[in-house]
Amino acid sequence: MSTQAKQTLLVFSAAEGLFGLPAERVQSVCKALPVTRVPYLPEDFIGVFNFRGDLCLAIDFATRLGKTSKTEKTEQVMIVIDSKDPKARPRGLLVDHIERVAHSSEISTENNIHLLDADTFLEGGIG
């Protein structure tokens, strides 16, 4: 890991891998919320959901990686991620399981946790 300041990360599993997101960007973690499908969205955008009165896009993490989740949809978890852009709405990331909260100093290439830049990963699609 580089000499960056220590960060708290939310570590989750999806698509048979472990991934970490900066915890400061996470608004909520909950059971998979009901999603309404929207025609003509890219395949990884599974639809929209109501989060505290906001209509938000839901992204299937495994599909975005070009893989398939082996976890039943009813067992999956939604991570609601805040956007740095105050005009953008939060997005929901459908993942298999939350593993733990860790400090960046605990993360190394040996433990196979892939660090995600939330902005880069959530780019694209609809506002």
What are the domain boundaries of the chain? 8-122
Task: List, for residues 9-38, the tens digit of each pLDDT value.
Answer: 999 999 889 999 999 999 999 998 899 999
Strands 54-60 vs 45-51: parallel, antiparallel or unpaired: antiparallel
Reported pTM:
0.84
Please tell me the CATH code under which domain 8-122 is placed.
Answer: 2.40.50.180
Region of residue 109 (phi > 0: left; psi between -120 and 50: alpha; otherwise: beta):
alpha
State the DSSP string of 70-124: -S-GGG-EEEEE--SSTTSPPEEEEESEEEEEEEGGG--GGGTEEE--HHHHH-S
pLDDT digits (tens, 9 = 90+) for 102-120: 887 777 655 788 888 777 6
Asked whether residue 125 carries a pLDDT value surpassing 50, the answer given is no
Cα–Cα distance measured from residue 80 to residue 49, given in angstroms and rounded to the nearest whole number: 11
3-class secondary structure, 100 = strand
